[in-house]
Amino acid sequence: MVEFQILLPAILNGLTTGAVYALIALGLTLIYGVLHIINFAHGSLLMLAMYAVFFLHAGLGIDPYLALPVVVPGFFALGYLLQRGVIARASHGRDENILLVTLGVSIVIENLARYFWRSDTRTIETPYSFETVDLGVAFIAVPKVVAFAGALLVTLALWWVMSRTDLGRAIRALAKERQGARLVGIDVDHIFAMSFGIGTACVAAAACLLLPSFYVSPGVGHTFVLIAFTVVVLGGMGSFAGALIGGLIIGVTESLCGLYLGESLGQIGIFLIFIAILLFRPTGLLGHRA
């Protein structure tokens, strides 16, 4: 049985791929958990961040990992402005309108990217692109190991911000009780925008960690956005540990279903898990009852 021989390496691969999914989902779960909006623009923001990383590398020779301190704050600001200047203003706080606005924003970003940067698929080559770590049972590509560690660190950082800072407390208060938060003097619009900014910053971190092992094109967001939603629901909306665990579970599920059902049909496993979680435990693995 071929499948059995490569079972262990396949699980390891699933874990590293899953860590990338978790990274992308972390920002989404924050936005989803606090603002209760399905952010259709998440994928296109990921794409935009990947282009930023690409051009920093291609133009200035900055290594994608060293680009983190530039790209992450930049995208935090972008996210803040996007929520405050566009999404909040255009949607009048109504769910269906937020949906359309984020959809519109994603159409704009994606097609401007096509116009300015053409639709070519671009990759970067770093000294470690083809390097692997030999774990005895499997070779794991270095960028994937880094992404795995990065996912853990970003989760920890988010957890720290949310539980140890005033900002985090305000965000949590807002997520639980909008009216109450307003009454105790929390600047709701500001905190909403901060949440969106942090969520966007997370996606920028994901872009830095992802690009060395992937590619970027104007449509690359679509590759990950559905998976990210799956992870968010699986882990529980607004739960960072949930997103991490959810990402890893989805990664391993995808890997094993691919192994046993074929890479084509195997994708179905992700969505069946997704549906099952929605039906039987809609709060997700680590979510709280709303």
Partner 1 sequence: MRRQLLAIVAFLAAMALVPHLVGSEFWRNWVMMALFYALLGQAWNILGGYGGQFSFGHAAFFGTGAYCSAILHVHYGVNPWIALPAAGMAAGLVGAFIGFLSFRYGLRGSYFALVTLAFAEVLRILANTVPITGKGVGLLIPLDPGAANMQFADRTGYFYLILAFVGLALLLTLWLEHSRFGARLVAVRENEDAARALGVDVFRTKLAAITLSGALAGLGGSYYAQLFLYLDPGIAYGPAISVEALLVPIVGGMGTLFGPLLGSFALHGVSELAKLAFGEAAGLDLALYGVLLVLMVMFMPNGLFGMGRTTLARLLGGGRDA
Partner 2 sequence: MSEVKRKKSISRRAFVAAAGGAALASGISGFPSIVRAQRGPVRVGILHPVTGPLAFSGNQARAGAMMAIETINEIGGIRSMGGAKLEPVLGDAQSKPDVGAAEVERMNEAGVSAIVGPFASGIALATTQAAAKHNIAHIVDVGVVDQVVTRGLANTFRFGPGLSKIVDTAIENLVAINDGAGKPARTVMIVHEESAFGTGMAKVLNEKLPGRGFQIIETISHANPTRDFNNIVLKIRAQRPDIVIPSNYYDEFVLFSRTMAQQKVRPKAIYAILGGAASSQRFVKEFPDAAQYIMDCNHWYDPRNPVAQELKKKVEAKGLYFTYELFLNHECVRLLAEALERAGTGDRAAVIQALASSGFANHFMPYGPTRFVNGQNQGAAPVNTQVQNREIQLIFPKEFASAKPVFPMPAA
* Interface contacts to partner 1, rule CB under 8 A: 32, 36, 38, 86, 89-92, 94-97, 99-101, 103-108, 110-115, 119, 218, 226, 229-230, 233, 262, 264-265, 267-268, 271-272, 274-275, 278-280, 282
Contacting partner 2 within 6-65 (CB under 8 A) = 6, 9-10, 13, 17, 20
Contacting partner 2 within 186-225 (CB under 8 A) = 214-215, 217-219, 222-224
CA angle 107, 224, 174 (to 5 degrees): 80
* DSSP secondary structure letter of residue 219: T
SS3 77: helix
Paired with 216 in beta bridges are 122
In the list partner 2, partner 1, none, the entry touching 120 (Cβ below 5 to 8 angstroms by class) is partner 2
Q: Which of 53, 71, 101, 141 binds partner 2 (CB under 8 A)?
A: 141
CB 149 within 8 A of CB 20: no
Minimum CB distance to partner 1, residue 274 (Å) = 5
Q: Which of 264, 279, 280, 289 binds partner 2 (CB under 8 A)?
A: 264
Task: Rank residues 39 and 200 by Cβ distance to partner 1 and give the closer one.
Answer: 39
Nearest to 269 by CA among 248, 255, 281, 289: 255
CB 87 within 8 A of CB 149: no
Q: How far is CA 129 from CA 6, 148, 208, 260, in A?
A: 23, 15, 14, 29
Determine the length of the chain: 290
Q: Where are the alpha helices (DSSP H) in 118-165?
A: 142-164
Residue 104 engages partner 2 in binding (rule: CB under 8 A): no
Tokens of 28: 């989404």
Angle between helices 240-261 and 267-280 (to 10 degrees): 140
Minimum CB distance to partner 1, residue 23 (Å) = 20
Task: Rank residues 267 and 283 by Cβ distance to partner 2 and give the closer one.
Answer: 267
Nearest to 29 by CA among 281, 254, 272, 235: 235
Task: Rank residues 129 and 165 by Cβ distance to partner 2 and give the closer one.
Answer: 129
Task: Rank residues 4 and 280 by Cβ distance to partner 2 and give the closer one.
Answer: 4
Minimum CB distance to partner 2, residue 234 (Å) = 17
Neighbours of 153 (CB within 10 A): 13
d(CA 186, CA 222): 35
Minimum CB distance to partner 1, residue 206 (Å) = 21
Which part of the chain contacts partner 2 (CB under 8 A), choosing from 32-40, 74-82, 126-134, 240-248?
126-134
Instruction: Find where tokens 């407390």 sit.
Output: 169
Minimum CB distance to partner 2, residue 13 (Å) = 4
Contacting positions for partner 2 (CB under 8 A): 2, 5-6, 9-10, 13, 17, 20, 111, 114, 118-121, 123, 125, 129-130, 132, 138-139, 141, 214-215, 217-219, 222-224, 227, 254-255, 258-259, 262-264, 267
